[in-house]
Amino acid sequence: MRAPPDPDRTASGGPSPAPDGAVATIRTGTAAWSIPKEHAAPFPVAGSHLERYGAVLNAVEINSSFYRPHRTATYERWAASVPEDFRFAVKVPKAITHERRLKDVGDLLDRFLSEVSGLGSKLGPLLVQLPPSLTFQPDVADGFLSELRNRAHGGIVCEPRHPSWFTPEVEALLDGFRIARVAADPAPVQGADEPGGWRGLSYYRLHGSPRIYYSAYSLEYLTAIAGVLARDAAADIETWCIFDNTAAFAATGDALATRNLVQGCC
């Protein structure tokens, strides 16, 4: 398991502190909001899983939207279940990213964005996770990102996984559209574990390592991540950390530990 980047890096290696001393919100959560019994103690006993989850953690990533659509009313109900300062990241449907592979997706984008509008002010970043086989094609990528940005004016993060997406050309393209590149662990290519693209938003997406989706992270790793999150927030960068190592229920424990570490260092 590779250690996170040094939180003290600045200039060419990372953001510098905000000159006015502003500190952005750090959002820590998991992919989906189930509460495994082994990590249930910090959460309230009463309420739905989402209500209980939202009482402790301040963000969640909706992954079910990748597989199937949800009604606008469903998103409205979810938004009503959490505090005002809670935010939902929402994964873009696989019909857009994996089936049509970013081509001719205007109708699908319109439907998806209409549905997620039900989250209102609690809508956080849209997550565009690309299939590992999808190579960077300049015309396709530019057309898709333009369509998406013209429709969605909030945060957008992209998680490419093919090596062809990790070039200065792609970094400049993402930056131009104000789209952040996910910092992923395990990193599919060297450098993918650090944020890229537009640097107004950091989105750390931790899948578990060495066994992806299963492994819990060590306290040493989580302590380092907490320092990285604090560094980015101190630079007034909206900062997210989502644990996707949900297969053996490690994500909730890692998110809680990271939240506590962040509170201790900030």
Tell me the pLDDT tens digit for each residue of 139-188.
Answer: 999 999 999 999 999 999 999 999 999 999 999 999 999 999 999 999 99
Residue-averaged pLDDT of the chain: 93
Contacts with 88 (C-beta within 8 Å, 6 or more apart), sequence order: 59, 60, 61, 62, 78, 79, 119, 122, 123, 124
Structure tokens at 121: 């002010």
pLDDT for the residue 24: 85
Look up tokens 């040094």; give the residue.
Answer: 6
Residue 39 pLDDT greater than 60, yes or no: yes
Rounded to whole angstroms, the Cα distance separating 69 from 71 reads: 7
Average pLDDT on 76-94 reads 98
Average pLDDT on 35-61 reads 97
Structure tokens at 98: 């994996």
pLDDT for the residue 9: 45
Vertex 178, ends 174 and 180: CA angle to 5°? 60
pLDDT band at 201 (very low <50, low <70, confident <90, very high): very high
Average pLDDT on 98-118 reads 98
pLDDT for the residue 12: 35
pLDDT digit string, tens, across residues 155-166? 999 999 999 999
Least confident of 1-10, 193-202, 232-241, 243-252: 1-10
* 127: alpha, beta or left? (left if phi > 0; alpha if psi -120 to 50): beta
Residue 4 pLDDT greater than 70, yes or no: no
Residue 8 pLDDT greater than 60, yes or no: no
Residue 266 pLDDT greater than 60, yes or no: no
pLDDT for the residue 22: 54
User: For the chain, which domains are there?
Assistant: 21-265 (3.20.20.410)
Give the CA distances from residue 151 to residues 99, 116, 120, 144, 228, in Å, rounded to whole numbers and listed in that order.
Answer: 20, 12, 15, 11, 31
> What is the number of alpha carbons within 13 Å of residue 129 lying toward its C-beta?
19
Look up tokens 């390592």; give the residue.
Answer: 209
Structure tokens at 103: 């081509």
Residue 221 pLDDT greater than 50, yes or no: yes
Give phi and psi for 184, each to the nearest 5. Answer: -110, 145
Nearest to 266 by CA among 56, 53, 24, 86: 24
